Amino acid sequence: MTASGAVPVGERVPLGRSAVSVTRFGLGTAPLAGLFSAVGARQAEETLTSAWDAGIRYFDTAPHYGAGLAEERLGHFLAGRPRTEATVSTKVGRLLVPGDGDDDEVFVGGTGLTRVRDYSAEGVYRSLSESLARSGLDAFDIVLIHDPDDHYEQASSAAFPALRRLREEGAVKAIGAGMNQNRMLLRFVQDEDPDCVLVAGRYSLLDRTAAEELLPACAERQVGVLVGGVFNSGVLADPRPGATFDYAPASQEILDRALALARVCADHGVPLAAAALQFPLRHPAVASVVVGARSAQEVADNVAHASRAVPEALWAELERMGEYRP
């Protein structure tokens, strides 16, 4: 981070002790595959182009996103760009099979495929093979085990060993897990030799619980941290009645807390969204913040927020305010 507090969007940094580097901001591709509302192919292409033109070179995707649509769209876009410039992560743990609809469905539109949880070694190999075919890429730089909340034993005994073999063989450069919780990620960091973790929603201006144990453990072991969910699904981007916190309607208590944060930021001439985007990067264990976008305008807005200088006085005041505690 520069002395003025602004974050160089396209600055590349090492991802933990791995051979992978990522830009300080990455683009999450779930919105491009119809998360909550449909996005057309042209709009998706324009969004990706806007991110690339802004200097973003880290892209995160998954079979889960649009039942394969995000991987297809990202792969199509990268086919026209120098592959060595981009760092791409995908995920394993959900296989796609013929069918319509499932319990995880939050995406608008259909590909004729449905998701089946599978954290076995065979499931990992099959998932990665199908992701390569779907995207047209020759390799993924980072592979993460996706949301194994109710599947710890299989993730630990089968998925991680499979990923370690792929890493040893040079098929992938970095491995880890991506989740919306701290506790299991901490167990993986302590027991499974990951290169990185992606923690969503647990290191934000509202929820800083990842800083208690997870981030210190990652720093100690040189495990790179990718942070998603910096807006806690919306309330830190636009705190108003009807805003969401962790994908559910925000309580009045949470909304009041977000509005208080917004007032403090406004007193320093900084939008709340700018502080929310930049906050995680102040921790030395955090390599990149991954932010989803569904339009070129959203990318432009996020880049402007990321590039805005934030005075140290504001950070000090936000630190004194602490996090929301229910």
- Single out the residue of 87, 100, 91, 86 nearest to residue 65, CA to CA: 91
**If you ran DSSP here, which 8-state letter would residue 239 be given?**
-
Q: Can you read off the two tokens belonging to residue 12?
A: 């590349």
Catalytic-residue membership of 65: yes
Q: Can you read off the two tokens belonging to residue 43?
A: 């709009």
Query: Is the alpha carbon torsion for 115, 65, 211, 197 positive or negative?
Result: positive
Q: What gap in Å lies between CA 11 and CA 139, rounded to an integer? A: 23
Q: Going by C-beta distance under 8 Å and a sequence separation of 6 or more, which residues neighbour residue 297? A: none
Q: Which of 65, 119, 203, 324 is catalytic?
A: 65
Q: What gap in Å lies between CA 57 and CA 52, rounded to an integer? A: 6
Pairing of strands 94-98, 87-92: unpaired
Please report where in the chains the tokens 């805005």 appear, as a residue.
308
So which residues are the catalytic ones? 65
